[in-house]
């Protein structure tokens, strides 16, 4: 991760006109600090004429030292997948309730981002998942996931059948509504609602969480991120695979979904004093001292 931020990319929530005001004010704030400002092309289309270079996300990844995302956790997930191959840190600003990933308020963003530019921040490396779909000997789809790779039932609503292998070793056959392969970040998303464990983001692991399994003996399992997970679909019950619920692909009998750790982590920057446990306590309404 780069630790000096001479070039900053600004990215707003897609099709959200209310982002324009805070984003332009932030751009002016950065410019006053002698920081070069770049704006995402889709964001630029929303705010109209602005005196800053407007570039595609991939080009921002190549040029920026830091990307500031104004939106919610969903926006951050979308941006993270695209910028993951580049050495650019991300900061999340939320206009509404603070999220798991976007933990800076619009009301405090100038002070907080000013401090980040001065090197006062907490950095977290977050792992992503790389997913592939194989049909026979050919790869037919692939995608990155910040939260999870999910094999699930389709429109028919029937349970699906699948076999699970880890590093080529048979683990079990299962009938269920699906199976979630979650990163530590994704452990507080879909996996949490299905009874999976909360995994600290500093851990390099994956969680396999069954969705409504037909037998109660099938429980979540946490494995090393160095493992390769293989899910082999059985039957024709209309299953599909989702990558962060962002993209999906239909599956047929014998298709294999492969999930493994993406080789490059993504760096998230938080305000100084950030605590993962404080965030959990607030978001999950745990009792305070």
- Cite the active site residues: 73
Q: Write the secondary structure of the chain as one string of H (helix), E (strand) and C (coil).
A: CCCCCCEEEEEECCCCHHHHHHHHHHHHHHHHCCCEEEEEHHHHHHHCCCCCCEECHHHHHHHCCEEEEECCHHHHHHHHHHHCCCCCEEEEEECCCCCCCCCEEHHHHHHHHHHHHCCCEEEEEECCEEEEEEECCEEEEEEEECCEEEEECCCCCCCEEEEEEECCEEEEEEEECEEEEECCHHHHCHHHHCCCCCCCCCCCEEEEEEECCCCCCCCCEEEECCCCEEEEEECCCCCEEEECCCEEEECCCCCEEEEEECCCCEEEEEECCCCHHHHHHHHCCCCCC
């Amino acid at each position: 991760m780069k630790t000096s931020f001479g070039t900053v990319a600004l990215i707003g929530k897609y099709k959200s006109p209310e982002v324009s005001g805070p984003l332009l004010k932030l751009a002016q704030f950065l410019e006053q600090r002698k920081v070069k400002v770049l704006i995402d092309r889709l964001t630029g289309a929303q705010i109209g004429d602005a005196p800053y270079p407007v570039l595609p996300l991939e080009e921002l990844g190549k040029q920026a030292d830091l990307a500031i995302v104004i939106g919610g956790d969903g926006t951050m997930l979308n941006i993270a997948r695209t910028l993951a191959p580049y050495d650019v840190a991300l900061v999340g600003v939320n206009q509404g309730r603070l999220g798991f990933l976007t933990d800076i308020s619009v009301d405090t963003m100038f002070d907080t981002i000013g401090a980040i530019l001065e090197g006062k921040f907490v950095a977290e490396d977050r792992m992503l998942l790389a997913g592939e779909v194989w049909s026979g000997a050919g790869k037919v789809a692939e995608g990155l996931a910040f939260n999870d790779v999910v094999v699930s039932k389709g429109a028919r609503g029937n349970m699906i059948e699948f076999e699970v292998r880890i590093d080529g070793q048979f683990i079990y056959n299962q009938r269920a509504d699906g199976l979630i392969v979650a990163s530590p970040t994704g452990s507080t998303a879909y996996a949490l609602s299905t009874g999976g464990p909360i995994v600290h983001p500093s851990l390099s692991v994956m969680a396999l969480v069954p969705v409504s399994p037909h037998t109660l003996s099938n429980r979540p399992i946490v494995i090393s991120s160095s493992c390769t997970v293989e899910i082999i679909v059985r039957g024709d019950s209309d299953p599909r695979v989702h990558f962060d619920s962002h993209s999906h692909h239909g599956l047929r009998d014998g298709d294999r979904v492969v999930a493994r750790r993406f080789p490059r982590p993504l760096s998230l920057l938080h305000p100084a004093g950030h605590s993962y446990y404080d965030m959990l306590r607030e978001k999950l309404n745990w009792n305070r001292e």
